[in-house]
Amino acid sequence: MAEGDPSTDAASATRIVGWQHPWIGYLSSAPAMIIVAVVLAFPVVFAAWQSLFDLSPLQDETPFIGFGNYIDVFSEQTFWSSLGRTAIFVFGVIVLGLTLSIIFAFALNRVVSGLRFIRGLAILPYIVSSVAAALMFRTMFNNEFGFPNQILEMLGFGAIPWLSDGTYAMIVVIFAQVWTDLPLALLFILGGLQTIDKQLTEAALVDGATGLRSAIYISLPLIAPQITLATVWLSFKAVTSLGTVLALTGGGPGDSTQLLTLEMVRLGFDEYETGTAMALVIIIFVLNAALTVSYLGLQRKFGTK
Amino acid sequence: MLWLPLAALVLWTMGPFLISLSVSFKQPAMVFADPGLIPDEPTLDAYIRVLERPGFQKALWNSIVIGFGSLFITLLVGVPAAYAFARFRFRGRHLLLLFSLLPMLAPKVGLMFPLFLLSVELGAFDSRLFLIFVFTGMLLPLAVWLLVGFFQAIPRELEEAAAVDGATQFATIRTVIMPLAIPALITVAVLAFREAWNEFELVLALTQTADSRTLPYELFLMQDATGIADFPIQNAFALLTIVPLVLVYLRIERYVAEGLLSGAVK
């Protein structure tokens, strides 16, 4: 991120400019550091610590129980089934999200200046709240008047019970999640494509490669880092997604879209199992970190040397 | 062949907006009777009903207060920090910068309980001020990252020239650096406002009454309250919360896209 050698940069600055006291640096960064520490760092440490206690507002004592809460979580069948649904959800979001963002980014990268506004349009979902997006998808996939069903019926197929059938509800939730999170993934990949030297792809075309082949064999390997970044982003958002699913299906129908995050809210806010909920928070953290590390590992293994 | 993916992109992005817009101009009963995209009898009825709701008015005001509060404090706190990391030399600055960036990885869902308990402990549960504080913290890592990169890209010679001409450091920052930094400041301001305006999970965890509830939570509650019947009013509500951001966004799309990109490519 830093350009040039920071130590000589800073040295030349202090030589010329007036404020040389070291405290000015601490003083100007302190407010930001304190707010970040309280809002972001403290909760993580606090959750990790609290997850080791048997917490419940109904009892006076809160004994230390070590990994007892984790054992409770792991012995619950609901944990494993919501973990399974989260796995399906995350996998679906990554597959759909990467496919769309790669196709769209290639198209946007070759767009002529008159159509530049399309890039602006593509980022629009970024400014829509998860609740508003969920509502839009609930309207769009309504069983009776939704457009997908209108089109299906026009083509002579039967209507699909999008939101009242568990499997289809999961598909709709995946679509809504990808819709909200695609803009950044798309921007990452587009940014990668724009760094590719045009001569490379042009040379391939001269040598007789088709546009598609040059895209697959030349461009894609070159943007492996940006594809990894997009994967990390999509996966992070999917693992920690709560608002979209809560507002779209509320975990239903039945418990077919009850993800780990919704399970956490149910345990903590509905059943007042604070300690167990904290353990689940930490499990979600670890799951997320493990996935991120494995994407980076995959890129190191199969990416460009 | 280029038109096919581009058409798909436009359809993918705009489809949900257009359907929502279409439904919002219908009477509740007509949503089922007249499912076409263009309403037979368009009406502003749903919008009027949203605007007349006390819940909407209160939530809108809360969103405005909390949005501008978060934006203001993010800049007030983020700019000096970023400038210090970019320009001053002090022991442990790299470590401190890392410490302010790393929490970007902390997912919001994990913050809900700890912050809820903290707010209860501090007597700050259900207060707008606490929400401003939290949203500022949520955006600061990204803000500091973007601003540090931006300040480092400004040639040092500019500041040195001003110093040679006898300007104090504060005057240099005010008259040389800040005008140059306006695109970055606008990007950070918009991102901070968007964070506060759209946030749902933390509002769910940290508020209880209409006195501090913001628009997304109010929309979420209205979905429950109106059941399945009233699609027009829900979509009108959703669109009304999106419109202010769209208007701002259209003017500065280039800055935001490039600001976000610069973080990704480096």
- Considering only alpha carbons, which residue of chain B is nearest residue A175? B12
Residues in a beta bridge with A64: A53
Asked whether residue A15 carries a pLDDT value surpassing 60, the answer given is: no
Segment among A28-37, A75-84, B169-178, B192-201 with least mean pLDDT: B169-178
Most confident of A61-70, B24-33, B63-72, B189-198: B63-72
Residue range A216-244: average pLDDT?
90
Q: pLDDT digits over A143-180, tens only?
A: 888 888 888 888 888 888 888 899 999 999 999 999 99
Q: How confident is the model at residue A305 (pLDDT cuts 50, 70, 90)?
A: very low
Residue range A44-65: average pLDDT?
81
Q: Is there a contact between B141 and A142 if contact means CB atoms under 8 Å apart?
A: no
Average pLDDT of chain B?
86
Q: Is there a contact between B9 and A118 if contact means CB atoms under 8 Å apart?
A: yes
Asked whether residue A102 carries a pLDDT value surpassing 90, the answer given is: yes
Coil, strand, or helix at residue B243?
A: helix
Most confident of A62-66, A192-196, B233-237: B233-237
Segment among A106-110, A267-271, A286-290, B261-265 with least mean pLDDT: B261-265
CATH code for the domain in which residue B116 is found:
1.10.3720.10
Ordered by start, the domain boundaries in chain A are: 78-302
Cα separation, A147 vs A67, in Å, equals: 49
Q: Is position B179 within any domain? A: yes
- State the number of CA atoms in the 13 A half-sphere of B197 facing the CB: 25
Which residue's structure tokens are 């701002």? B248
Residue range A13-26: average pLDDT?
62
Cα separation, B171 vs A82, in Å, equals: 57
Give the pLDDT score at B264.
Answer: 46
pTM score of the predicted model = 0.88
Identify residue A6 by its one-letter amino acid code. P
Q: Is there a contact between B88 and A125 if contact means CB atoms under 8 Å apart?
A: no
Cα separation, B217 vs A247, in Å, equals: 10
Q: Is there a contact between B106 and A43 if contact means CB atoms under 8 Å apart?
A: yes
Domain count, chain B: 1
Asked whether residue A138 carries a pLDDT value surpassing 80, the answer given is: yes
Upstream peptide bond of A253 is cis (omega within 30 degrees of 0): yes
A74: tokens are: 């792991």
Which positions in chain B touch A282 (Cβ < 8 Å)? Answer: 110
Cα separation values, A153 from A49, A158, A159, B29, Å: 55, 6, 6, 21
Q: How confident is the model at residue B261 (pLDDT cuts 50, 70, 90)?
A: low
- Considering only alpha carbons, which residue of chain B is nearest residue A101? B9
Q: pLDDT digits over A238-268, tens only?
A: 999 999 999 999 888 888 999 999 999 998 8
Average pLDDT of chain A?
85
Q: How confident is the model at residue B12 (pLDDT cuts 50, 70, 90)?
A: very high
Give the pLDDT score at B158.
Answer: 82
Asked whether residue A91 carries a pLDDT value surpassing 80, the answer given is: yes
Which positions in chain B touch A29 (Cβ < 8 Å)? Answer: 80-81, 84-85, 93, 96, 100
The separation between CA A260 and the C-alpha centre of its own chain, rounded to angstroms, equals: 15
φ/ψ bin of A252: left (φ > 0), alpha (ψ from -120 to 50), beta (otherwise): beta
Cα separation, A276 vs B245, in Å, equals: 38
Q: How far is A25 from chain B (nearest CA, A)?
A: 5
Q: Is there a contact between B140 and A36 if contact means CB atoms under 8 Å apart?
A: yes
Which residue's structure tokens are 């779209």? A248
DSSP character string of chain A: ---S-HHHHHHHHHHHSS---HHHHHHHHHHHHHHHIIIIIHHHHHHHHHTTB---TT-S---B-TTHHHHHHHH-HHHHHHHHHHHHHHHHHHHHHHHHHHHHHHHHHT--GGGTHHHHHHHGGGGS-HHHHHHHHHHHT-TTT-HHHHHHHHTTPPP--TTTSHHHHHHHHHHHHHHHHHHHHHHHHHHHHHTS-HHHHHHHHHTT--HHHHIIIIIHHHTHHHHHHHHHHHHHHHHT--HHHHHHTTT-STTTT--HHHHHHIIIIIS--HHHHHHHHHHHHHHHHHHHHHHHHHHHHHS--
Residue range B191-204: average pLDDT?
91
Cα separation, B153 vs A295, in Å, equals: 31
Q: How far is B185 from chain A (nearest CA, A)?
A: 16
Q: Is there a contact between B9 and A41 if contact means CB atoms under 8 Å apart?
A: no
- Considering only alpha carbons, which residue of chain A is nearest residue B131? A39
Q: Is position B15 within any domain? A: no
What backbone phi and psi angles, to 5 degrees, belong to B95? Answer: -65, -45
Q: Which CATH superfamily is domain A78-302 in?
A: MetI-like (1.10.3720.10)
- Considering only alpha carbons, which residue of chain A is nearest residue B74? A32
Q: Which domain holds residue B168?
A: 43-265
Asked whether residue B76 carries a pLDDT value surpassing 90, the answer given is: yes
Nearest to A147 among B2, B19, B115 (CB): B19
Q: How far is B265 from chain A (nearest CA, A)?
A: 6
> Rg (Cα) of chain A, in Å, rounded?
24
CA-based nearest residue to B116, from B137, B104, B134, B102? B134
Which H or E run includes B108? helix B108-121
- State the number of CA atoms in the 13 A half-sphere of A173 facing the CB: 35
